């Protein structure tokens, strides 16, 4: 069973975009995941297919209409062949839970996702409640729309799907998978501008290499991400 992504967006021409290239693109071609892009404009109201309106209570900007979004979400749900669409419905939103590798993995183990990309000031609160949207953020900064956030999420999920990464191991030793940042990498040449590859890595002693990598990962995590290090100490990661 492949991972079924439905993306609701005012800018369908942005997809698959970068998701059509490299690992994700090959996986798309191979049918490991599918992408159904739903053009929000098609569900717009009236001659001009309006999807937004001014905010109740006044203020700057425009808000995506609840009825228009709900119709698009319902179409996304109808479009999968399963009678019972169990996919989580996500709304890309700076107010949401911040995306992390644990949630990426959880999504990758599921049937897919319906992803709503916001625009303008955001979306009418009532559609979030009525369609039980889970708000997901890609970090504490504001993008102009949810599309790039949706692409980041899908890219992270797709690379974990079975058959996408050549070396099955390479998904498990990376940053965050053990609650740690990854150790440094080196490759040829042996000397670059006077800097040598650390001796241990060319010693051929796999035990020592593993130990060195672990120490480096722990050191980097303590230095750069004390928040992650504290979680790892408590055994709270994963």
Instruction: Please report how close the Cβ of residue 118 comes to ligand SAH at its closest, in angstroms.
Output: 2
| Residue of 112, 56, 55, 103 whose CA lies nearest to 81 | 112
Please give the residue whose beta carbon sits closest to ligand SAH in the complex: 118
CB of 109 to ligand SAH, least distance (A): 22
List binders of ligand SAH among 126-155 (CB under 6 A): 137-139, 141-143, 145-146, 149
| Residue whose CB is less far from ligand SAH, 138 or 180 | 138
CA 57 to chain centre: 33
Alpha-helical segments (H) within the chain: 22-29, 66-78, 101-108, 125-130, 147-158, 206-224, 226-233
**84 vs 144, which CB is nearer to ligand SAH?**
144
122 binds ligand SAH (CB under 6 A): yes
Distance CA 151, CA 149 (A): 5
For ligand SAH, the closer of residues 112 and 146 by Cβ is 146
Lay out the site mask for ligand SAH across 71-110 (x = CB under 6 A, - = otherwise).
---------------------xxxx---------------
- The distance of closest approach from Cβ of residue 31 to ligand SAH in the complex, given in angstroms and rounded to an integer, is 28
Measured from the CB atom, the residue of 4 and 128 that comes closer to ligand SAH is 128
Q: Of the two residues 157 and 229, which places its CB atom closer to ligand SAH in the complex?
A: 157
Decide: 138 and 152 in contact? Cβ < 8 Å.
yes
User: What are the DSSP calls for 151-217, one per residue?
Assistant: HHHHHHHHTTSTTTSSSGGGGTSSTTTTSSPPPP---S-SEETTEEPPGGGGS--HHHHHHHHHHHH
- Is 25 exposed, middle or buried, given 0-12, 13-18 or 19+ CB atoms closer than 10 A? middle
CB-CB contact of 117 with 92 (8 Å): yes
Q: Among residue numbers 180 through 209, which ones bind ligand SAH (CB under 6 A)?
A: none
Q: Strand runs (DSSP E) across 77-121, as ranges?
A: 89-98, 112-117
CB 131, min distance to ligand SAH, A:
15
Nearer to ligand SAH, 137 or 221 (CB): 137
Can you tell me which of 118, 158, 178, 229 binds ligand SAH, judged by CB under 6 A? 118
Question: Measured between alpha carbons, how far is residue 24 from residues 19, 37, 69, 97, 116 in Å?
Answer: 5, 16, 27, 24, 20
139 or 226: whose CB is closer to ligand SAH?
Answer: 139
Residue 27 lies near ligand SAH (rule: CB under 6 A)? no
Point out which residues bind ligand SAH (CB under 6 A). Answer: 92-95, 117-119, 121-122, 137-139, 141-143, 145-146, 149
């Amino acid at each position: 069973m492949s991972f079924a992504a439905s993306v609701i967006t005012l800018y369908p021409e942005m997809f698959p975009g970068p998701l059509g290239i490299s690992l994700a693109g090959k996986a798309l071609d191979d049918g490991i995941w599918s992408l159904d892009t739903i053009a929000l404009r098609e569900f717009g109201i009236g001659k001009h297919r309006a999807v937004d309106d001014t905010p109740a209570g006044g203020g700057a900007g425009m808000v995506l209409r609840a009825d228009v979004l709900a119709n698009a979400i319902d179409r996304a749900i109808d479009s999968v062949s399963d009678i019972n669409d169990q996919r989580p419905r996500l709304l890309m939103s700076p107010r949401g839970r911040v995306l992390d590798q644990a949630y990426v993995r959880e999504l990758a183990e599921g049937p897919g996702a319906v992803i709503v990309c916001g625009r303008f000031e955001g979306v009418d609160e009532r559609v979030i409640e009525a369609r039980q949207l889970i708000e997901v953020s890609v970090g504490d900064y504001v993008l102009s729309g949810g599309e790039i956030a949706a692409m980041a999420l899908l890219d992270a999920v797709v690379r974990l799907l079975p058959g996408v990464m050549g070396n099955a191991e390479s998904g498990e030793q990376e940053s965050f998978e053990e609650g740690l940042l990854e150790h440094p990498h080196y490759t040829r040449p042996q000397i670059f501008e006077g800097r040598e590859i650390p001796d241990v890595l060319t010693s051929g002693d796999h035990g020592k290499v593993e130990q060195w990598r672990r120490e480096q990962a722990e050191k980097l995590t303590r230095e750069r991400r004390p928040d992650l290090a504290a979680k790892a100490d408590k055994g709270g990661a994963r």
